[in-house]
Amino acid sequence: MARTVLLTGGGRGLGRATAEKLAVLGHRVILVARNPAAADAAVDEILHRHPRARVEGRSVDLSALTEVGSYASTEAERGDPIDVLFHIAGVMQTSATRRLTVDGYEETLAVNVLAPFVLTAGVLPALERSASARVVTVSSRLHLPGSRGAPVDFDFDDPQLARGYNPDRAYKNSKLAVLWFTYELQRRLAPRPITANAVCPGFVPATAAASTTGVMRFVMSSVMPHMPFATSVDAAAESFVFMAVDPSLEGVGGKFFGEQHPIESSPQSRDPEQSRRFWELAERLTGAVGAR
C-alpha cells in the first residue's frame, strides 16, 4: 500500500537517498530541504531517473523554529493525511565555538530535537488523518555510556550548554533527548493508531564528512568508508525505508532500532521521569504543545 511520507533532510545524504528509495517503491514523498535550491535539485534528480515518481519538495530551515512551526501548520491545513513523518535532518558540530540559531537556541539541540518536536506537534492533525501513522526520529548509539569523545551529560538547568560547551557532548545530549522525545511521544499518542520509534543509522562516514573540513573531510569521505565498521549511505537508507514502511513494524512503537532490529538504548534514556521532564522543557523552550 502506498504511503505519504514526509521526511526532513531530503536535500542530500541519507535523507536524499531515502526519499529516492521510497519514491521508487511507489510511495508519495514530501522531502524537506534547507532552501528552495536544494529542494528543487533533489526533486529534479529523482524525477530525472524515475519520471513516474511522486515526489514534492518543501523548503524549511530547521534551525529556525518559527519557520518550522509555520510550515507545519501549513502542511497540516492542506487536509491530506501524512502516514509517515521521518525526522532525518541533523547536525554534528566540530567547532569548539557554541553556535546559536536565529531564534537564539544552541544549534545542535535546535535542529536535532527541538525542530522534530515542533514539526511533530504541528502536523499531528495530518498524522491523525492516517489509518496508521508512524513518527521516526534519528538517534545514535553515541548516546550510550562509554562511547568515544566527551561523555553524555544532559543538564536540565543548562540544556543549551551555555556553560562548558563541547560539540561532542552537544551531539550526544541531543541524541539522548531524541530518545526521551520518542518514548514520551509514544506514551502520549496512545491509544491513537500512531507509533513513535527512533533509529540509529550506524556510522556513515559519507554523511559525517559533510560536517568536517580539510584533512578530516578527506579521511571521512575517502578512507573511513572502507573500514569494516562503516555503513554505506545505501545500506543506511535501506534501514530507513524499513522503518518507514515495512509491514512488520505495524503497531510497533516506543523502540530504538539499528540495522533493522530493535536495540537497547541507555538506562537513562528509558527513565520515564526524565522523558517527561524533557518534554516539558521542550514545550517551554519552543512554545509548541505536543501530543496530550
Q: What is the pLDDT of residues 228-261, one digit of tens each?
A: 445 688 889 999 999 999 999 999 999 999 999 9
Pick the CATH number of 4-202+234-286 from 3.40.50.720, 3.30.1490.20, 3.30.1010.10, 3.40.50.1000: 3.40.50.720
In this prediction, what percent of the chain has a pLDDT beyond 90?
Answer: 82
Residue in this structure with the C-alpha cell 562503516, named with its chain if needed = 230
Q: With 90 as the cut, is the pLDDT of residue 206 above it?
A: no
The whole-number pLDDT of residue 214 equals 45
Cβ atoms of 240 and 88 closer than 8 Å: yes
Section 140-155 average pLDDT: 92
Rounded distance, CA 194 to CA 180, Å? 17
pLDDT tens digits, one per residue of 101-116: 999 999 999 999 999 9
In this prediction, residues 17-23 reach a mean pLDDT of 98
Residues 152-170 have a mean pLDDT of 96
